Amino acid sequence: MQLVQSRDTPPTLRRMLYLLKLHPEITIKSRSVRQQMTRCLTANIRNTLRRHDERIRVKGQWDAVRVRLPEDATPDTVAAVEDGLPRIPGIHQILATEEVRFDSLDQAADRIVPLWSPAIAGRSFRVKAKRRGQHDFTSADIERHLGSRLLAATPDARVDLKHPDVVVPVELNDRRLQVIRARWQGLGGYPLGMQGQALALISGGFDSPVAAWKMLRRGVKTHFLFFNLGGPAHEAGVREVTHHLWARYGTSHKVKFISVPFEDVVGEILRTIPDGLMGVVLKRMMVRAAGRVARRAGIPALVTGDAIAQVSSQTLHNLGMIDAASELPILRPVLTDDKQDIIDQARILDTARFAEVMPEYCGVISRRPHNKAAREDIEAAEAGFDFQVLEDALTAAVTTRVDRLLDDQATPPPTEVMTVDSPEALASLEAPCVIDIRRADEQEAAPLDLPEVPLMHIPFYELQDRAPALPGDRQYLLYCDQGVMSRMQALHLADRGLHHFGVYRGTAPAD
């Protein structure tokens, strides 16, 4: 919540009425469209706030939406309302007001001076008045009268009509005086749901939650699609960030979270696709699957967190190759954003904390990716791909309402797996065995030499199938270059009840 004016108010004044100004892009629409958007915004605000108190009243007007709290609203309710209003798409500004009968300028000053004197002490200020109705004075008369009373009550304040530190706002509608005690910036954008629906591919990194948020802000009801590359541990983290994003910015609407198990698809890619094309083909398989999911749900567009040239699959050429595999248009809200700008926005949204502990599972796919993959090479490579694997993944997809994501989670993520960091610690274990899960070319390029410990070679994309058949009287330590894939695989095996697998992150002793 961004504070524009001081929120310090005497304890005897309660913030019971809020005027919500429409986003300027709403106000320039035709009369019928503006009315439709205002009705939608009013309904969204009502849906969002009623969970705090069913008695909250929301009423749409031509230039604003009024939110009135019951007179006995608790401080917790007031705090929840003031925290939630700035996150509702379509609101430009929130004005916390007290509305009273207007009798005279002196009576108005008696209300306003105690409220604003602390805020202007030692600072420059000006009074800005808006007046509607028939009165025997002008808006300028209101500003001069209130300004003089504020100066008399606060001698160390000073008037500055051009560049004040503090603006004291006052609105007079006929005989009703609205004393504005505080003012916050809203989220802007369009009311959620006004611009249709989209399906956002979300991975839990920095980019995809920011992309989804941008769609929410522009009024698009956004569902979430997750391709699981790392088992329950991966899904647990993505569930958390998705629920967080929805809870902060989209609670007016119920949306879906679809999880598609994609480890077997990755395994098929590693078995059949040349190294340099793996990243692009993986994204093509994802958008193929996403298009199928979206069409079944009647959703007309996909959303991704792609940004130009951030990784090899996101060069402009490769993005075109990915688009060619999609049945639906792919929207990319962060396409031209710098990575640091995306990270900064993720920190504002409070999604960065999830991304910082989320491994980049897609980053382990290709060692020498092509920046400009040829269409004929892609098509030739995909000709050997077993598309039944993709069909099986779609058949196994699970759909959950986003508001139930955390409640419906079938199993909690595993706490941890054993990690060994040195050859000496490895040798001290009882019956250890290291499994090198790297691809064959990686193993040949950098052989793992552990003379005192048995060594096996099982590519990670075969491990989940072969692990249950391994003898259970050994402690198996999985090895890969960065430790990301090995930890992911060990956690996945633990979730299947195979707890005698850990991670080896040491180096082989020198010859």
Task: Decide: helix, strand or coil at residue 494.
Answer: helix
Identify which of 225, 219, 222 has the alpha carbon closest to the alpha carbon of residue 193: 219
153-157 contacts, C-beta under 8 A, 24 or more apart: 153/113, 153/117, 154/117, 154/120, 154/121, 156/121, 156/122, 157/117, 157/120, 157/121, 157/122, 157/123, 157/124, 157/125
- Residue 231: CB atoms within 10 A of its CB come to 23
Q: Which helix (H) or strand (E) holds 330?
A: strand 330-331
Task: Decide: helix, strand or coil at residue 136.
Answer: coil
The strand pair at 91-101 and 64-68 is best described as: unpaired
Residue 362 is among the residues annotated as catalytic for this protein: no
Identify which of 338, 494, 330, 343 has the alpha carbon closest to the alpha carbon of residue 418: 494
d(CA 51, CA 255): 17
Cβ(198)–Cβ(301) below 8 Å: yes
3-state helix vs strand vs coil in the chain, percent to 5: 40, 20, 40
Which one-letter amino acid corresponds to residue 82?
A: E
Cβ(192)–Cβ(216) below 8 Å: yes
d(CA 399, CA 402): 9
Q: Which helix (H) or strand (E) holds 47?
A: helix 31-49
Give me the residues paired with residue 95 across strands: 19, 183
Catalytic residue among 40, 362, 433, 480: 480
Which residues are known catalytic residues?
480
